[in-house]
Amino acid sequence: MIGIKKLDAYMDHMKNSWLETCVDGEIFYVNAFDEKKRQWERPKDGFVKLLPKVEKPKRRSTWEKELEREREWQNERERERKEKRDREERRRRADPWGHLDGW
């Protein structure tokens, strides 16, 4: 059971609570008790529930970027070597006796 004093305290808290809201990149504050109450300035007193923070992408150092480019370059070279080996293998299988002059 809840007493009148405690209920009044909860009601006062709700009347002085605000929700941070963002629409079209504009931030404004909506009262939690009466949604018709809106204001642009952040309330000086009272509770304000903020929007969740959007995490910025983690910055990478130049050497990490360079290392990633080097790995990509090595992977590309390895793919080219594999394709060349595969072409040579297909050519060898097509002509098992080594008739490179077209028979």
Mean pLDDT (the chain, rounded): 87
3-14 tens-digit pLDDT: 999 999 999 998
First vs last Cα of the chain: how many Å apart? 101
When pLDDT is cut at 50, 70 and 90, the band that residue 73 belongs to is: very high
Task: Name which residue leads in pLDDT, 58 or 35.
Answer: 35
Domain boundaries, the chain: 14-49, 66-95
pTM over 0.75: no
DSSP string, 44-97: SSSEEEPPPPPPPPPP--HHHHHHHHHHHHHHHHHHHHHHHHHHHHHHHHH-TT
Task: Name which residue leads in pLDDT, 101 or 86.
Answer: 86
When pLDDT is cut at 50, 70 and 90, the band that residue 46 belongs to is: confident
Residue 39: which H helix or E strand, with range?
strand 38-39
Given this model, what pLDDT does residue 81 score?
96
Given this model, what pLDDT does residue 60 score?
77
